[in-house]
Structure 1
Amino acid sequence: MMLKLSDADHKLVTDAVTRAEQSSDGEIVTIVADKSDSYNDVGLHYAVLAMLLVPAVLAILPQSVINDGMGLFLGWDETLTRGVLMAFLFVKLAAVFLIVRYALAYMPLRMALTPGSTKSRRVRRRAVEMFRASAERRTQGRVGVLLYLSLMEHRAEIVADEAIHSKVEPDVWGDAMAVLIENVKGGRPGQGMAKAVEQIGLVLAQHLPKTSADTNELPDRLIEL
């Protein structure tokens, strides 16, 4: 089931960002995407792998089974010539490739067969791209932080600008990530984002407390791609 965010979810997250920024000079940007990549190459790799298994399977089959199979499709059961065998093999390769390739055009199946490490790398890459476009060096004090959620992968990333990154170790964001993923898996992405923002706000308030010079430099609203 594809998760969706309602208008109430948007308000919940926006309000959480506004509250979190009241205690810190930090600026929080929140972005939610349906997915971070099309994973077309994954479908292609599985199709090629399935195709390469065809000769391996044929190699271990008895000659009599191959002859019977040829007879079933071509109407004869004589010993195979090299040319006929190659043509038969080519047809099998093409058929298996196309069957697997089109089966994996179904996104939920492709996503299910994509290795977790691949999903994590591509979500991270997309989060960094979004951070560079929306938050990096867009504040005077380099105090922007991005909370990025990719729904189909059930993965999230927190990317921080220079002033925050220099003061906060990556594992400090663990509580925010944990509460976010827990709620996403439970079908509550809006609540998860809001609670994660609260945790991020606590970290920012500790390391970048509010000063009189602070202004709201980045939008508080949730961005949905």
Structure 2
Amino acid sequence: MSTKTYLDADAQAVVTNAVAQAELNTSGEIVTVLGDRSDSYSDIALAWSALASFLALTFCVTFPEFMLDGYAGLLGNWNAEWSPREIFAMAAGAAIFWFLLLWLLQLWDPIKFALIPGRLKTARAHSRAIAMFKVGAERRTHGRTGILIYLSMKEHRAEIVADEPIAAIVDAEVWGEAMADMLAEIKKGNIAEGMAAGVRDVGQVLSEHFPRGADDQNELPDRLIMV
């Protein structure tokens, strides 16, 4: 996973302060996570490279004259007669070339993420959010009132994951407003302000269902987690 830093210390403080402020009115504990990406997608890069290799090999088999003429022109030998072994080597070479080309192209993130289906990005971001929640928030508070706000930059995806007592009372659709406010700012390039807006909305919902008690303690760190 990349460790690219999207926010400087001052911007991170904006999110941290928003969490601290939101938790003044609720026993809920808000954890914020900002990630560069949710997966390496090496399996997808391999799949596209294998497909390119297969298509190249299929083309060579379907149009052998085109392949042989191309090699003859490249080598400057227009009257060449190729042996079966040489023809096989040419086809294999073309397949390997296209495999490596697609693999290398996908080392550039804009191409890599353009080739990843949107539904897969959503699924991987959701899985990553669940994993982060289990590590950082699930069952780590006295009343199991932890909630995680996760933003994955390369996928352009955000997730809100709540512990069971919260999920049992608050429908998932309720978090839609928080998501909308957060993404509206992020699309403008205001990442910290967007996450802070989401935190405020989440805090408002939590304060209605899980108000802060007199003996409430801060059980999870307020700081933004960068992964």
Please say whether Structure 1 and Structure 2 have the same fold, judged by a TM-score greater than 0.5. Answer: yes
Q: 1:60, 1:120 → 2: CA distance?
A: 38
Query: What residue in structure 1 maps to residue 71 of structure 2?
Result: 70
Moved more, 101-110 or 187-196: 101-110
Deviations 1:182-211 (A, max 9, x none): 222211110000000011011101111222
Please give the residue correspondences for 1:29-108 in structure 2 after superposition, counting only pairs within 5 Å: 29-61=31-63, 63=65, 65-74=66-75, 75-78=77-80, 80-108=82-110
Of 110, 113, 126, which residue of structure 2 is paired with 1:111?
113
Tell me the number of residue pairs that the alignment of Structure 1 and Structure 2 aligns: 223
1:76–1:84: structure 2 CA closer, same or farther, 3 Å change rule? farther
Q: Is 1:173 matched up with 2:208?
A: no
Aligned partner letter, 1:202 = Q
The 8 Å contact of residues 67 and 77 in structure 1, kept in 2 or not, is answered as: no
Of 187, 190, 200, which residue of structure 1 is paired with 2:189?
187
Query: What are structure 1's unaligned runs of at least 5 residues?
Result: none
The 8 Å contact of residues 3 and 187 in structure 1, kept in 2 or not, is answered as: no
The 8 Å contact of residues 28 and 146 in structure 1, kept in 2 or not, is answered as: yes
The 8 Å contact of residues 57 and 94 in structure 2, kept in 1 or not, is answered as: no
Query: What residue in structure 2 maps to residue 21 of structure 1?
Result: 23
Query: What residue in structure 1 maps to residue 127 of structure 2?
Result: 125
Aligned identity (percent) is: 41
Query: What residue in structure 2 maps to residue 215 of structure 1?
Result: 217
Query: What residue in structure 1 maps to residue 6 of structure 2?
Result: 4
The 8 Å contact of residues 9 and 190 in structure 1, kept in 2 or not, is answered as: yes
1:61 shift after superposition: 3.1
Q: 2:214, 2:194 → 1: CA distance?
A: 31
TM value normalised by structure 2: 0.91
The 8 Å contact of residues 33 and 224 in structure 2, kept in 1 or not, is answered as: yes
Q: 1:30, 1:223 → 2: CA distance?
A: 6
Query: What residue in structure 2 maps to residue 202 of structure 1?
Result: 204
Q: 2:91, 2:64 → 1: CA distance?
A: 15
1:59–1:195: structure 2 CA closer, same or farther, 3 Å change rule? same
Aligned partner letter, 2:217 = T
Aligned partner letter, 2:213 = T
1:80 shift after superposition: 4.3
Moved more, 8-17 or 140-149: 8-17
Q: 1:154, 1:7 → 2: CA distance?
A: 22
RMSD across aligned C-alpha pairs, in angstroms?
1.8
Query: What residue in structure 2 maps to residue 163 of structure 1?
Result: 165
The 8 Å contact of residues 57 and 92 in structure 2, kept in 1 or not, is answered as: no
Q: 2:225, 2:181 → 1: CA distance?
A: 20
1:195–1:203: structure 2 CA closer, same or farther, 3 Å change rule? same
Q: 2:106, 2:196 → 1: CA distance?
A: 34
TM value normalised by structure 1: 0.92
1:76 shift after superposition: 4.1
The 8 Å contact of residues 179 and 195 in structure 1, kept in 2 or not, is answered as: yes
